[in-house]
Amino acid sequence: QSVLTQPPSVSAAPGQKVTISCSGSNSNIAKNFVSWYQQLPGTAPKLLIYKDNERPSGIPDRFSGSKSGTSATLGITGLQTGDEADYYCGTWDNSLSAGVFGGGTQVTVL
């Protein structure tokens, strides 16, 4: 059971938009920055979003992040087949004094 809650899967047609929710609590998301990671099949995770809504260099603006209270959201617009991957939210939990992740969301492009 992950500390952060994500939907197991989302899907949409190419060119469409998907959003992935990440639900936490006052000890984690509400108090710390949220990051989002993309994991393509057979590869290591890669940072997509940091500090709730910042994109590292090289990440297209089709990817966006937002946060409100104890929840965060990743948005992907203009969906491409290359976006098929698992996406994880992550943050720090002040009560656990540890990093925490969501269970991951598999994105499928129909």
Partner 1 sequence: EMQLVESGGGLVQPGGSLRLSCSASGFTFNNYCIHWVRQAPGKGLESVSAINTIGTNIYYADSVKGRFTISRDNSKNMLYLQMSSLSVEDTAVYYCAKGGPYCNRGLDYWGQGTLVTVSS
Residues that bind partner 1 (CB under 8 A): 2, 32-35, 37, 44-47, 50-51, 56, 86, 88, 90-92, 94, 96-104
Which is nearer to partner 1, 1 or 13 (by Cβ)?
1
* Closer residue to partner 1, CB minimum distance, 46 or 62: 46
Is 7:107 a contact under the CB 8 Å cutoff? no
Give me the half-sphere count of Cα atoms (radius 13 Å) on the Cβ side of residue 28: 24
Nearest to 38 by CA among 46, 27, 28: 46
15 vs 73, beta carbon nearer partner 1: 73
Instruction: Output the smallest distance, CB 106 to partner 1, in A.
Output: 11
Smallest separation, CB 13 to partner 1 (Å): 26
SS3 content of the chain, % helix, strand, coil (to 5): 5, 50, 50
